[in-house]
Amino acid sequence: MSEEGVELIDKTIAYDGYFKIIRFGLRHRQFRGGMGTRIDREVFERGSAAAVLPYDPVRDEVVLLEQFRVGAFAAGRPAWLIEIVAGMIEPGEDPADVARRETAEEAGLQLGRLEAIGDVIMSPGGCTETVALFCGQVDAADAGGIFGLDHEGEDIRAFTLPFDKAYDRVRSGEIDNASSVISIQWLALNREDLRRRWM
């Protein structure tokens, strides 16, 4: 179904702070035919982000981050997550440029080649957030340390892991956030081809 099957009745701002919440009143076409009844839904306006899994094909290592996440804390999950590099895309920015900028800010590394993994919508039942995922070539020989921007309250630990150990952490559930899981699983499927092309 396309947007042609949606009747927007009203749209109001329910909250406008650090993030924005929009309340939609709408009806949409039903698979059995006709339009459904009115539904009211709040949508969390998150915006678009770019995320990159830094990968050293020579050392066969990935660079990962560990940082506090209030959403995980609020959900009753471990509050310090192991993640890949990520940042919000500002209006007019290219996602690949954001991936490069954020890798320098959060991991202290410069990206070489970039391979697009894909664009995904993170939680379509109630959030607009989309993420452009990449795998980026790095030299991880001297990777690691504490990074982040003080004025944004960032406290980010960057570290390296052999790819197999990172993949084990996905399989065990220790790495449990969507961007990281998707990217590491993508690398598991494409690693040999990437190593041939990047070395």
156, pLDDT greater than 50: yes
User: In this structure, what token pair is assigned to residue 27?
Assistant: 């009806």
Tell me the domains of the chain and their CATH numbers: 3-45 (no CATH), 48-198 (3.90.79.10)
User: In this structure, what token pair is assigned to residue 32?
Assistant: 């059995």
pLDDT digits (tens, 9 = 90+) for 157-181: 999 999 999 999 999 999 999 999 9
Give the C-alpha separation, 12 to 9, whole Å.
Answer: 10
**Annotated catalytic, 4?**
no
Instruction: From the candidates 152, 154, 174, 192, give the one annotated as an active-site residue.
Output: 152
CA 43 to chain centre: 18
pLDDT digits (tens, 9 = 90+) for 81-130: 999 999 999 999 999 999 999 999 999 999 999 999 999 999 999 999 99
Give the C-alpha separation, 199 to 197, whole Å.
Answer: 6
SS3 198: helix
